[in-house]
Amino acid sequence: MWRKLSIQLQLMTLMIAVTVTVALSSLAVAFWLDIEERKSLAIELTQTVKNALDHDLINGITHQDATLLANLKRRLQGFPKIDRVLVLSPTDNVIFNYQHSDEHYNDLVQKSTDKPRFSGEDLYIRYPLTDGQRQYGSVTFIVDIKSFATQFRQHLIFLVMALPIELLLAMILAWWISRSYNQPFTVLVEAMKRSDVANNRFKRVETEAQNEVGDLFDGYNHMIERIETTTRQIRFQSEHDALTGLYNRFYIENRLRQALTQESDKPHLLLCFDLDRFKLINDAAGYRAGDELLKMLAHSCQEQLPDKAVMARLGGDDFYVLLPDTEAETGLKQAENLRQLLADYRFTWEGSAYSVSATFGVVCFRAHDFTLDELVKATDSAFAEAKSRGRNQLHLYQPDEGYTENHQHQVQVAGWIKDALKATPGSHPSPGTARFELYAQAIKPLQTQTSQLGYEVLLRMHDDQGRLIAPDNFLPTAERYQLMTEVDIFVLNTYVDTVMQQPAHLDKLGLVHVNLSGSSLNHPDFQSNLKHLIQTRDFPWHKLELEVTETAAVDNFNQAVTFIEYCKSQGIGLALDDFGTGMSSFEYLKSLPFDVVKIDGSFVKDMHSDPTDHAVIRYIQEISALRHQKTVAEYVETEQDVRALTDIGVTYGQGYFLGKPKPLTDWF
């Protein structure tokens, strides 16, 4: 509770507590001093009375005259603060007993000593009666110390009256101090809130203080400068191609998304091209020559293009050029100029000259004409048409180009998927009927040796002629026709029922990854199906990892919290697939409950030639290790990949070098 209070409230509370403590302590000290003062006055009184009556007291003992003792009693009545006086013989026999009040006192003789003794609110003291040579006995006084008047009441009234004023002053002082000393923190918080992290713009702070506050502000400003510099470097590396300095696929796709979703209705052109004889140059002159050619062409093309053009290298010799806010006629002229520039280009390397040309696919589009995937497919279609006409060609995509044929093919594939879903797992469908088949690809540990098996379950489809169809050729259709949830249910049910019939294999199984589409994560049919399987199948659910792509996780995890918690309670893990392809990936890694992180194969593929990719893999591994997450590197194609990933600390590897996909039945 205390930590939830603001610094200002904490300081005010402490100041009030100190003030109250000081006030109560002052009252306690005043009370103690008052008691001590009363004790001192009581002792002085007894000494005064004893000195004044000393002669009469001795005569009272020696003569025991009634008149003398009566006179002594009258004199003692002049001292109302004295409650009792005893005159004792040397043998402690009471000779004279004076009592001012009716209060009863016990053990008077025993309590009285030569030194002052206080019992409750009474003073007991005994004085010897002597004439300097002989002791005639003793006199005992009992004095009520309450009867003495002091300044305590006035002090108490003053302290009580002063307490509210002291509290008020303490609150004002605490408020002023907290405001003064809390201001630097407030300034820093406001600076952080006003900083634009997405655009790498941070608010600086200033102060005239030359103490710790000044050091704090200087440290903050220095940290911000380092963050800005590092962020610019990282952003540049994440958005640019390391070889040519052009933008990369990530950046150009973001720009295309912006162009497709903007409010403006201005037209844009997207050019896609590659070099016609690049492989021959690579083979003849070597990769160094090919790299040098790419850098020279990138520089030449940028000089030819207008300033607003965005040119990116996708990989190899594949390039995109976005001409924003450009009419089709103007854009085609610029594309033709670029084609002509490359057609006339001559590349010389180590005394040999090479001719260069390029083939272009062009798409003219406006906002909301396509999704990004549809735009890329349209561009690929235009490029393929240009390639079909030979080298050094340019083709402009037409919206109705191949649409009817593609739509008919999509309908046909959707029909195959529905037929395959109807087939009973493990049965042999009749000829002319499509069917699914489960494959699996090995996932092998890189840091340990184990005899247990691990793999990812994959899906293949045989069309109505029995031909095998890769997932890329039918899963997009399943997504489009909203069949993915049924497909996911089919895969999970088929896999569980199949391996339950193989107890020996199940004993050897260490882990199994099953892919899951984003739509299934929130779909009630899939959720109820999984719960039914858990209730009716004796499957080791702790060995199951459900794989979800980064995009699906971001779009669906917040709505599937309850279902995710249920899966976790049953021991089912969650794996994040294709991690690292988005700039916000690390934010997702912190906020979403993943047990396994699968590093996208694009980083593994180029990690030996691109230090940035190698650093990204290491960074993903370090972050995952801090969060106690296991990692799986995809696209492990060589022994060199295995060694590098093992040195980094990656937990598992998956790729053709470690094992190609094969039918699930082959694993038995």
Q: How far is CA 138 from CA 66, 91, 92, 115, in A?
A: 19, 10, 8, 13
pLDDT at 557 over 70: no
Q: How confident is the model at residue 11 (pLDDT cuts 50, 70, 90)?
A: confident
Residue among 536, 523, 547, 532 nearest 630 (CA):
547
Can you tell me the mean pLDDT for 118-132?
82
For residues 333 and 304, what is the distance between their CA atoms, to the nearest angstrom?
12
pLDDT of residue 187: 77
Name the helix (H) or strand (E) containing 187.
helix 152-194
Nearest to 457 by CA among 420, 421, 494: 494
Query: At 502, is the secondary structure helix, strand, or coil?
Result: coil
Question: Which tokens go with 303?
Answer: 């000089």
pLDDT above 70 (res 405): no
Position 401 scores a pLDDT of: 56
User: Which residues in 407-435 are b (16+ Cβ under 10 Å) and which e?
Assistant: eeeeeebbebbebbbebeeeeebeeebbb
Residue 554, pLDDT above cutoff 60: no
Average pLDDT over residues 474-485: 84
pLDDT tens, 593-634? 789 999 988 889 889 988 888 998 998 899 889 889 999 999
Q: Hey, how many other C-beta atoms are within 10 angstroms of the C-beta on 480?
A: 12
Residue 261 C-beta-side C-alpha neighbours within 13 Å: 8
Determine the average pLDDT of the residues in 231-243.
Answer: 83
Q: Measured between alpha carbons, how far is 55 from 130 in angstroms, rounded to an integer? A: 9
**Arithmetic mean of pLDDT over the chain:** 83
Q: Which amino acid is at 610?
A: D
How far CA 323 is from CA of 73, 304, 320, in Å, comes to: 125, 13, 10
Length of the chain, in residues: 668
Rounded CA gap, 175 and 218, in Å? 26
How far, in Å, CA of 3 to CA of 10, rounded? Answer: 9
Give the residue-averaged pLDDT of 146-153: 71
Q: What is the CA radius of gyration of the chain?
A: 48
Cβ atoms of 100 and 80 closer than 8 Å:
yes
What end-to-end distance do the CA atoms of the chain give, in Å?
A: 59
> 209: pLDDT confidence band, cut at 50, 70 and 90?
confident
Which tokens is 259 given?
Answer: 């162009």
Q: Confidence band (pLDDT; 50, 70, 90) for 403? A: very low
Please give the average per-residue pLDDT across 156-180, as a whole number: 72
Number of helices (H) and strands (E) in the chain: give both, helices first.
22, 23
Greater pLDDT, 160 or 311: 311
Provide the 3-class DSSP secondary structure of residue 243: coil
What pLDDT is attached to residue 489? 94
Please state the rounded mean pLDDT for residues 386-410. 73
